[in-house]
Amino acid sequence: MTEFTIGIDGGGSSCRAAVTDATGRILGRGTAGPSNILSDLDNSLLNIVASAKNALSDAGLSPETVSSVAAVIGVAGANVGDYAERIERALPFARRRVVTDATTALQGALGDSDGVIGAFGTGSVYNARRHGKLYGIGGWGFVVGDQASGARLGRDLLEQSLLAHDGVRPSSPVTQTVMAEYGDDPERVVEFAHVSRPNDFARYAPVVFEAAAKGDLVATAIVQNAVASIGESLDALLWPECEAICLLGGLAKAYRPWLAERHVALLREPKGDVLQGAIDLAVKFLHEEGTGAA
């Protein structure tokens, strides 16, 4: 039986890892670059391993210990095609399990309790546990999904800025600021969009919320559209007896003032974050080894 375990939160902007003993006590933490497996699988694998080795070093352990630990890795896109299997085959851990970031987010926020979570960072995803059964929404990636994510907010801001530049939609202070960043040249905006990854778009999310707080009409409309999609997804997962909604991720706090009252009434503070969820699942996984479970 391995002595240590590692929980990893593979985010679109960064990858976080924590090494623990068999009881779940955190011994060290590590970070590395983005781990968006749908847009950049090879670099995601490198960053997952790097974050684990950095956590081991932080714990005073040799980075080479990575080959003798059990690990649970939560990443967006693990529910698409054979990505989860490909990652599991490629990683150097003694035992590894790849799950969606929705699974780790749910575990982190609710522990083993029932409820609904929405996680909003570079990407977005929803999950629910009802009488022990899991139900998920989203996690389909930036191109066709991830509504209300940081990446989609940034993309929407650039889209609206171009429409304002062309005279199709009214401009506002935030669209003028964006266009000024690119020398008022729409071609430069398009060039940026074509070479950028989700985390590049997500850097505009704080700009959107800051402008909306000041009453900027374009930014306000972008946030309201995102909140509408949040409401639809939460409603699709809620059931009459549900007592808890937890919001997670870097944008969770920013969205709270914009939510509908029916959702605000169910908001609960999460027990832990997405990384804590990965840690909890990793410890469970470690003990499966000790009991001979698959």
pLDDT by residue (tens digit) across 249-279?
899 999 999 999 999 999 999 998 889 999 9
- The residue to which tokens 């391995």 are assigned: 2
Instruction: Count how many Cα atoms sit within 13 Å of the Cα of residue 91 in the half-sphere of its side chain.
Output: 31
Could you give the percent of the chain with pLDDT greater than 70? 97
Instruction: Count how many Cα atoms sit within 13 Å of the Cα of residue 201 in the half-sphere of its side chain.
Output: 28
N-term to C-term CA, the chain: 13
CA distance linking residue 90 with residue 190, whole number of Å: 35
Backbone angles phi, psi at 78, to 5 degrees: -70, -15
For the cut 80, the answer to whether the pLDDT of residue 135 exceeds it is: yes
pLDDT of residue 293: 34
Could you give the percent of the chain with pLDDT greater than 90? 72
For the cut 90, the answer to whether the pLDDT of residue 287 exceeds it is: no
CA distance linking residue 69 with residue 251, whole number of Å: 32
Residue 290's pLDDT band (cuts 50, 70, 90): low
Contact by Cβ (8 Å): 56, 65: yes
Q: What is the mean pLDDT of residues 70-75?
A: 92
- Using CA atoms, how far residue 197 sits from 93, 123, 152, in Å, is 28, 11, 11
For the cut 60, the answer to whether the pLDDT of residue 294 exceeds it is: no
Instruction: Take residue 237 and report the two structure tokens written for it.
Output: 């997962």
Q: Of 68, 258, 83, nearest to 153 (Cα)?
A: 258
Q: Of 205, 274, 281, 283, nearest to 15 (Cα)?
A: 274
Backbone angles phi, psi at 13, to 5 degrees: -105, -30
Q: Of 156, 157, 147, 141, nearest to 231 (Cα)?
A: 147
For the cut 60, the answer to whether the pLDDT of residue 191 exceeds it is: yes
Residue 289's pLDDT band (cuts 50, 70, 90): low
Instruction: Take residue 74 and report the two structure tokens written for it.
Output: 């939560």
For the cut 60, the answer to whether the pLDDT of residue 54 exceeds it is: yes
- Using CA atoms, how far residue 253 sits from 42, 209, 267, in Å, is 32, 11, 11
- Average pLDDT value over all residues in the chain: 91
